[in-house]
Amino acid sequence: MSTFPQPWISTVSHWQATNRGPTSLYLHNSEADLPTTADVVIIGGGMMGSALSYNLTRPGAYGDGKKIVCVEAKDVASGASGRNGGHVGPSTYYGWNLHQQPYPLGLGCSAEEATRIMQNERDNLDLVESIVKKEDLDVDFWRGELIETHHSAEETEESKRQYEAWLQARKDYGFTSDHDTRFVDERTEATELSRFKGVTSIHIRPAGSVHSHKLATALMQCAIDSTAADFSFYSWTPVSGFPEEVAGGDWLVKTSKGNIQAKKVILCTNAHTPNFFPKDDPLHTHIQPKRSHCALITPPPTYSGAQALKNTYNMSDDHYLVQTPMGGIVIGGGLPGLVRDDKFKAEDSFGQIDDSEAGIDPAYKEHYNNYLKDNFIGWGPEGYGEGLTRIWVGILSTVKDGVPLVGEVPGKKGVLLNAGFAGHGMSRIFTVARAYENILRTGTWDENLLPRSFELTSERLQSVLKAQQAFEAKNGTGKITDSEGVIYETKTTEKAGKCVIQ
């Protein structure tokens, strides 16, 4: 599990490397004294911590007139938030179908709840766009369409079946807003639109991309600049363990700079959440870390200028990519295929927390070096300095039932958790932050703002444990799943010990 000071130097992503100017908040308050009291302490300065800080500090929000402190173990967006693919890509039919599947594939939820989850992801895209426009944020935000590729007649048939079922569910449950999607199963048209080899069909839907490090930094800066709340952010202030309850119902947060006492403590700790809970607590295993890779590809002239990609993409084996405004293409994913081809071991991803250069697997370097030129039509020869330009790793979270945990920690009144984004945080974090500010302010859960299945309850945790036990009794314990529900076999239970045991 995570320790500080960190015994390694983390890799640097494209986003982190291109946001180093005077407004980037590196080392912000790293040497400053921490106050001893606050109304609210937020632990974690990643995208969730930044988005929540922003929402709490708006005029009339829950934090209006309150003292709010956010502490981060390293720099703002120094973890997965600053190392992701920059993709704000809402799911549609695939996620809708997956969430209805039984453990360990999904939530086992109703078709109506799955439809609400998908609508929430679309709302999240609209919300990011509205915040960027409202605050006039210079974060390279782009709004357009995502192309999802399919590569066999069977995949096309099943995808189209799920797509049509999802559209019908939207009608059945009263979602009348335009879904803005289309399914193209004429191969020539699908190939021309996608420029991708071997496609049998494509699904086109709304999506966006953003410079993730700039966005997290800008939201944190908005909170710092707020005149409605007394807000402060402290980088390089790691927290030691779960807050300690003190007299009066307050909580004492122990940090490297001393203690701070608060009425409410909000954990925005994502993959590092297990550090705050003992091994016998369900939250110690419900969320677990997963090491993932991303890369920056500098395209040749045939994919630059007017020939640059006009869409973001989701491809097979969890691949995804975005076209940045000037810096090239950021690509991530590929784990299922590498494991299937015996080029990478699943246990070298699941349960891992080292985001240093040592965590970059040679198989991923080779894979990203060849993927775009092998799969995009007319990629063209790469000159020196083109092709694979940078590769990095980040620590995402896996979640046993696949959706975030939002709410008060069971039995710990005043300690709250907003975590567990399962590699899909950019399509969920912003609606979670907006909804949770509303929950704190009103005392009620508004299902129009956030699906009820996201709520953290003892019943939810126990239900998943029972489902896990039933699965293990039938199938054994040497299995792990990723955030998309892909099941991987592990050779021994011992090897799977640091993975998400299913």
Sign of CA dihedral 286, 287, 291, 294: positive
Q: Which helix (H) or strand (E) holds 339?
A: helix 335-340
Nearby residues of 218 by Cβ (< 8 Å), 6 or more positions away: 135, 137, 138, 139
Nearby residues of 335 by Cβ (< 8 Å), 6 or more positions away: 292, 317, 318, 344, 346, 349, 482, 486
Burial of 280 (0-12, 13-18, 19+ CB in 10 A): exposed
User: Which residue(s) pair with 295 in the sheet?
Assistant: 331, 391
pLDDT of residue 492: 39
Amino acid at 219: L
Residue 425 C-alpha from the chain's centroid: 2
Q: CA distances (Å), 311 to each of 132, 178, 193, 302, 320, in order?
A: 20, 20, 10, 16, 11
- Both tokens assigned to 21: 């100017």
pLDDT of residue 456: 98
pLDDT of residue 483: 60
Residue 223 backbone phi and psi in degrees, to 5: -65, -45
Provide the whole-model pTM: 0.95
Nearby residues of 81 by Cβ (< 8 Å), 6 or more positions away: 46, 47, 48, 50, 212, 213, 216, 425
| Residue spans per domain, the chain | 142-208+288-396, 464-498
110 near 100, Cβ under 8 Å?
Answer: yes
pLDDT of residue 489: 67
Burial of 67 (0-12, 13-18, 19+ CB in 10 A): middle
Pairing mode of beta strands 312-314, 142-150: parallel
- Within a 13 Å sphere around the CA of 37, how many CA atoms are in the beta-carbon half? 5
pLDDT of residue 62: 98
- Report the C-alpha gap between 74 and 132 in whole angstroms: 25
CATH architecture of 142-208+288-396: 2-Layer Sandwich (3.30)
349 near 488, Cβ under 8 Å?
Answer: no
Q: What is the pLDDT along the chain (502 residues), one digit of tens a residue?
A: 567 788 999 999 999 999 999 999 999 999 999 999 999 999 999 999 999 999 999 999 999 999 999 999 999 999 999 999 999 999 999 999 999 999 999 999 999 999 999 999 999 999 999 999 999 999 999 999 999 999 999 999 999 999 999 999 999 999 999 999 999 999 999 999 999 999 999 999 999 999 999 999 999 999 999 999 999 999 999 999 999 999 999 999 999 999 999 999 999 999 999 999 999 999 999 999 999 999 999 999 999 999 999 999 999 999 999 999 988 999 999 999 999 999 999 999 999 999 999 999 999 999 999 999 999 999 999 999 999 999 999 999 999 999 999 999 999 999 999 999 999 999 999 999 999 999 999 999 999 999 999 999 999 999 999 999 999 898 887 777 776 667 776 653 333 333 333 2
230 near 68, Cβ under 8 Å?
Answer: yes
Alpha-carbon Rg for the chain in angstroms: 22
- Report the C-alpha gap between 468 and 474 in whole angstroms: 10
- Report the C-alpha gap between 475 and 478 in whole angstroms: 8
